[in-house]
Structure 1
Amino acid sequence: MEQLSTKEKALAAHCLTAAMDSAAEDDVETQWLKLAEARSAELESGKVEGISWRDINQDLT
């Protein structure tokens, strides 16, 4: 690393950070998909009951 210029070090750091961010984003997307599928299955099976937007909006105001 000592042989690299400041610009080259910055580029290497950027590439490493971008690679880490990409992997983290992929994991988050996978986890959200699993959660959405599980919630959908709960709704379809009748385990849970949906709430209308009107009811949610009334609770918020």
Structure 2
Amino acid sequence: MSAQLKQVIQHIETLSSDEKALVAHCLISSLETKHDDNVDNAWGELAQKRLAQLESGETQGVPWSEIKTNITQ
């Protein structure tokens, strides 16, 4: 195990949740060897569609607290 990895592991608990999420994102992103622009476009289109559904009232949002409760049951 490298000294850098040992240092990260030893100090991981001192990071905020946002910092931990950023570290996780960076690690996962670094594993990706091929970038597909079509995937980014598809996610963008889906996000725009979902936003339009929320704004029009076609669908209703669900609070994170409710989702979290359902997941942990």
Using the size of structure 1 for normalisation, the TM-score is 0.61
How much identity, in percent, do the aligned residues show?
38
Shift of 1:44: 0.2
- Tell which structure's C-alpha radius of gyration is larger: 1
What number of residue pairs does the alignment pair up? 40
User: Which of the numbers 31, 55, 58 marks the counterpart of 2:66?
Assistant: 55
- In structure 2, distance between residues paired with 1:48 and 1:42: 6
Question: Whose RCO is larger (CA < 8 A, sep 6+)?
Answer: 1
Q: Which structure 2 segments of 5+ residues have no match? A: 1-32
Task: Give the superposition deviation at 1:53.
Answer: 0.2
Structure 2 SS opposite 1:43: helix
Q: Residue 32 of structure 1 corresponds to which residue in structure 2?
A: 43
- Deviation, 1:29, is 0.2
Tell me, in whole angstroms, the C-alpha distance in 2 between the residues paired with 1:57 and 1:27.
31
In structure 1, how many angstroms separate the alpha carbons of the residues matched to 2:41 and 2:60? 25
4+ residue runs over 4 A deviation: none
